[in-house]
Structure 1
Amino acid sequence: MLLEIDKVRAGYDAINVLWDISLSAEEGKVTCILGPNGGGKTTLLRAITGLIPVKQGQIRFAGQPTTNMKTWKLVEDGVTMIPEGRMIFRDMTVEDNLLIGGFIKRCRANARANLDMAYDIFPRLKERRHQLASSLSGGEAQMLAMGRGLMEEPKLILIDEPSLGLSPLLTDEVMAIIARLKTQGRTIVLVEQNTHKALEIADHVYLVRGGKVMLSESVGDVDLDRLHDLYFARDTAAERG
């Protein structure tokens, strides 16, 4: 497993959000983390990337312990996060946004080749490379955030809610790009609320609710009715009834 998370607890100051979460991501596969808002999905990504402290448990990347490692060191080692909300630099051009992703020391020599790679995957960005990022549509901004992440030559790509705020058409386009990255052998951890779209490209699915893993199954074994019962906490309602 490229990424292993073992009984992790984490949160914000005195508020704990994750409760003994354990999951893993296999190399060359798409691991999808589903769940309702407030379930702990983004908190988990922040714990993996060192943005919040892990209070208990262990995280390993490529067989090495990375619990509470500095974020910049994880990026150097090949962990890239494409954040919720894009977080692009709106007052910079599309191309400058991409080049920032390639500023890591180990990537600088390949910056031009990686830029060509990003434009090959996202031809719309090449068309708009001299425009300010603020002029992009929501779908284009998501492509820019993904392209910037790929400029870092990642071994592991964490993608947080890529379909958030996008139309169904643009959602399909972004998911098709993630599927293409999968065919290239990329290792992806995808946080998503759109269960149907996520299941179309995922290899393994985790459902996280209330800071805990409620389901862990390969995609071929997923029962959608049961998944949705767990997602919407209908299982607990049935138990109370």
Structure 2
Amino acid sequence: MLETRNLRAGYGHITVLWDVSLAFREGALTAIVGPNGAGKTTLLRALTGLIPHQGEILLGGAPLAGKTWDLAGQGIVLVPEGRMVFRDMSVEENLCLGAYPKRSRGDLSASLERVYGLFPRLKERYRQAAGSLSGGEAQMVAMGRGLMSKPRILLIDEPSLGLAPVIVQEVFEIIRRLKAEGTTIVLIEQNTSIALSVADDVHLLRAGKVLLSEPAAQVQIERLHDLYFAREAKTA
């Protein structure tokens, strides 16, 4: 469904991704794991046009068309690292912003009810300023805002970052439900255990290169961690 071929991207004269070729299957949850600085967030920024890139990004076998602001209309939605809610706006106002694309405006009420069904806590706080929420609640707003666009492909960047373990489990239960509903998900996550527990496919990035690409069921956790922490050179 979504694919990169020989993708290079970075910032100014600094290249972060080196010839990254990946395929994200329709209806599957693909986990991208790796240490800090591996290029995981850079990959999402390249996919969404936030930074320039070389190489190809394909959607349905054709070059991905349009600018960053057009992608939600094509069904590609990013839930960014760090939540990035509009602090002075209410929870419901934040959610409604996610329904900006024309393809999702007509069913605003139904989309709100769906999000409130997934995140009952947000319905309790729908009038509350987003800036007054806890970190976990703000993550729910960010995810709900993305779902309001009725995404075909949902890109989620580090949803567990800075959250208490009980909230992480709650957030990932929602991710499991979205996967079961058939949403194509690309998940960036440093917590390898929880990433493997929800993933269909796993790719490991380190230093901007793909070191492992396997179905989640075939991943050997010790080998994954050796690659993750660069221990393979010591054991070779």
TM range (shorter): over 0.9
Distance 1:149 1:59 in 2: 21
From 170, 173, 189, the counterpart of 1:173: 170
Distance 1:236 1:7 in 2: 25
Q: How does 1:14-29 map to 2 (within 5 A)?
A: 14-29=13-28
Unpaired runs of at least 5, structure 2: none
SS at match of 1:22: strand
Unpaired runs of at least 5, structure 1: none
- In the alignment of these two chains, the number of paired residues is 236
Partner of 2:48: 49
Calculate the TM-score normalised by the size of structure 1.
Answer: 0.96
From 62, 66, 85, the counterpart of 2:64: 66
Partner of 2:196: 199
Shift of 1:74: 1.5
Bigger mean CA deviation after superposition, 69-78 or 95-104: 69-78
Letter in 1 for 2:234: A
Shift of 1:110: 1.0
Q: How does 1:1-241 map to 2 (within 5 A)?
A: 2-55=1-54, 57-66=55-64, 69-239=66-236
Distance 1:194 1:100 in 2: 30
SS at match of 1:112: helix
Shift of 1:237: 3.2
Structure 1 residue ranges (4+ consecutive) displaced by more than 2 angstroms after TM superposition: 236-239
Shift of 1:63: 2.3
The alignment's C-alpha RMSD in Å is 1.0
SS at match of 2:107: helix
SS at match of 1:86: coil
Identity of aligned residues (%): 58
Shift of 1:64: 2.0
Distance 1:185 1:162 in 2: 19
Shift of 1:219: 0.8
Letter in 2 for 1:137: S
